[in-house]
Amino acid sequence: MQEYIIIVAGGSGSRMQSDLPKQFLPLHDKAILLHTIDRFLSYNPDIRIIICCPRDFLNYTKELLSKHQYPNTIEVVEGGATRFHSVKNGLNVIENMSSLVGVHDAARPLVSKETIARCYRTALEKGNAIPVIGLNESLRKVEGERNEAQDRSAFRIVQTPQCFTTALLKEAFLQEYSPLFTDDASVLEKAGYTIHLTEGNTENIKITVPADLLLAEVLLKNKE
């Protein structure tokens, strides 16, 4: 079955204290986005990749891919005002309804091949799958002036790629946008579907602040 991955590259460089969007910042001598692409091509060389990026960086992204001789089958599309709208733009270029589609953050360049495989395999079996990991730290719920300890075993940290049968995700994205749509699973859940969890990998961090970039450098060097 054909597999697609929509890589959402709409982040800015504000929290990274950079004028360049974080997905284009160098990590181990290569743009973060390229590391992310490499992970999926390593998992499946025939996967179809769709990159959603800001309008002002469409040409920049295409030139970056060309410079590093990436397959010309990679599609670059304009992102939207929100993640929801960016993913919707990516879904619009997929015509094969009998396929699987994943959505992944461009700023997660350390996702493992095993995590990717589990997500697509579970989506094939159950219709959808999202990778999660447990929490190691204590949690407290804050309500106004009050706060209360929570059972951390009842919670999971959600990662990407979030994978789905294409027909199912396209159907879910026909809904009107809601600010409660924080990821793709929440869109599907709002449409009435049960979300299936699978194991993620702890290194699959989302690079958001400068400290994350330093950690990613260390993790990549250790892997080598």
Name all domains of the chain by residue range, CATH numbers in brackets.
3-223 (3.90.550.10)
pLDDT of 16 > 80? The answer is no
Model pTM greater than 0.85?
yes
Dihedral sign (CA 203, 69, 94, 127): negative
Q: What is the pLDDT of residues 202-222, one digit of tens each?
A: 999 999 999 999 999 999 888
Share of residues in the chain with pLDDT > 70 (%): 96
Strands 162-165 and 128-133: antiparallel
Cis peptide before 161 (omega within 30 of 0): yes
How does the average pLDDT of the chain come out, rounded? 95
Model pLDDT, residue 221: 85
Q: Do the beta carbons of residue 165 and residue 123 sit within 8 Å? A: yes
Sort 219 into a burial class: Cβ within 10 Å, 0-12 / 13-18 / 19+: middle
pLDDT of 13 > 80? The answer is no
pLDDT grade, residue 179 (50/70/90)?
A: very high
Tell me the DSSP string of 174-220: TSPP-TT--SHHHHHHHTTPPP-EEE--TT-----SHHHHHHHHHHH
How many whole angstroms separate alpha carbon 40 and alpha carbon 174?
A: 27
Q: Do the beta carbons of residue 130 and residue 158 sit within 8 Å? A: yes
Share of residues in the chain with pLDDT > 90 (%): 92
Token digits of residue 157? 């940290």
Q: What is the pLDDT of residues 112-165, one digit of tens each?
A: 999 999 999 999 999 999 999 999 999 999 999 999 999 999 999 999 999 999
Q: Do the beta carbons of residue 191 and residue 172 sit within 8 Å? A: yes
